[in-house]
């Protein structure tokens, strides 16, 4: 359950599409001193054509001028869930060991911070701990509405729908302008992630701006990380043994699993090729000539000016 700082208690957060967990209760993770631990490092690469982004017609959504500061110059906001480098480096994808029961202590905890900034939730992917805090803050002059969903074999369920406060430092007319460049922090919304049995993922979206979304993976042990800008990762201080390593991204539907053996004080290398998802991944996938479906005039399109970033459809 979540609390608005200095005010009422909120139930902020949590959850997700279709990767529910299995069977019986999981054993609690045991922190130990790992004297002869090893390391697993490597690189994650996407092989194949990067999926098309999502596309949103800004003329049909609130705050089109301000949020259109990031757009394609024809009135569309693109949202690409995949961060892929020029050589296929799969960036900001989760790498973790599955079902490790004992190992190194958790590091000192810092509550993850997710910002609503330039009509985006950043970061797109987060790693959080169950029963620990997260913080969400509005850095825009536009109103954002937090919606969180939980899913199970019974289907998705809305957990809550809450406004994200705007800073009082913004003038009332600021949200109508494409020239606003400063970001002021609104009142943060913080709270504790408390997942229900068998679930460890969440999704957060904005009820006003459909192209704003953020995903997270909740872990019950410290052997997880995000790949860097080169697609590289490293997991350290792993007790000797054989483990299952998983690659997770919310829009990669195929389970990506590798087995690796860690020798005492050894260094194992694990390079993983992830096949690019094929077919239509989402209903609002961007297409060429998108205005065929809409009666949008040229004047409406040109009123939305990408002053911050002009996006390119590929």
- Please give the structure tokens belonging to residue 27: 């054993």
Per-residue burial over 277-312, b if 16 or more Cβ lie within 10 Å, else e, is beeebeeeebeeebeeeeebeeeebeebebbbeebe
Identify the pLDDT of residue 15: 35
CA distance 261 to 266: 9
Distance of CA 130 to the CA centre of its chain: 16
Boundaries of every domain in the chain:
2-306
Longest pairwise C-alpha distance within the chain: 67
Please tell me the distance from the alpha carbon of residue 290 to that of residue 73, in angstroms, as a whole number. 13
Backbone angles phi, psi at 291, to 5 degrees: -75, 0
Residue 126 to residue 137: CA distance in whole angstroms: 15
Sign of the CA dihedral with 137 first, then 139, 145, and 151 last: negative
Quickly list H helices, the chain: 64-67, 298-302
Q: Which residues pair with 44 in a beta bridge?
A: 272
CA 235, 239, 240: angle at the middle one, nearest 5?
105
Cα distance between residue 69 and residue 65, in whole Å: 7
Instruction: Report pLDDT for 171.
Output: 75
What was the pLDDT predicted at 133?
A: 82
* pLDDT of 232: 98
> Mean pLDDT, consecutive 10-residue segments, the chain of 314 residues?
39 37 58 96 97 93 92 93 96 95 91 93 89 87 83 58 87 63 88 71 88 90 96 98 96 93 97 94 82 67 88 82
Q: What is the structure's pLDDT at 77?
A: 95
Beta carbons of 81 and 307 less than 8 angstroms apart: no
């Amino acid at each position: 359950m979540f609390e608005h700082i200095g005010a009422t208690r909120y139930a902020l957060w949590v959850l997700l599409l279709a990767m529910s967990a299995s069977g019986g209760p999981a054993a609690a993770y045991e922190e130990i001193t790992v004297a002869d631990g090893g390391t697993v490092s490597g690189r994650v690469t996407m092989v194949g054509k990067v999926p098309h982004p999502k596309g949103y017609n800004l003329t049909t959504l609130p705050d089109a001028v301000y949020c259109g500061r990031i757009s394609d110059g024809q009135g569309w906001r693109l949202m690409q869930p995949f961060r892929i480098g020029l050589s296929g480096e799969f960036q900001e994808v989760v790498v973790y060991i599955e079902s490790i029961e004992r190992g190194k202590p958790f590091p000192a905890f810092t509550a993850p911070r997710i910002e609503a900034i330039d009509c985006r939730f950043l970061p797109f992917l987060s790693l959080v701990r169950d029963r620990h805090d997260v913080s969400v803050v509005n850095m825009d002059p536009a109103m954002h509405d937090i919606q969180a969903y939980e899913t199970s074999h019974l289907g998705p369920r809305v957990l809550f729908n809450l406004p994200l406060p705007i800073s009082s430092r913004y003038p009332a007319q600021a949200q109508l302008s494409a020239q606003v460049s400063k970001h002021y922090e609104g009142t943060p919304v913080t709270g504790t992630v408390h997942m229900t049995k068998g679930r460890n993922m969440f999704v957060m979206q904005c009820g006003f701006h459909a192209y704003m979304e953020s995903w997270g993976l909740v872990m019950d042990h410290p052997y997880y990380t995000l790949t860097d800008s080169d697609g590289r990762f490293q997991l350290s201080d792993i007790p000797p043994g054989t483990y299952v390593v998983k690659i997770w991204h919310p829009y990669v539907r195929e389970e990506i699993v590798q087995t690796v053996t860690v020798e005492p004080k050894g260094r194992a290398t694990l390079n993983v090729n992830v096949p690019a998802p094929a077919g239509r991944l989402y209903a609002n996938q961007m297409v060429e000539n998108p205005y065929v479906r809409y009666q949008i005039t040229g004047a409406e399109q040109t009123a939305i000016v990408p002053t911050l970033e002009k996006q390119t459809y590929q």
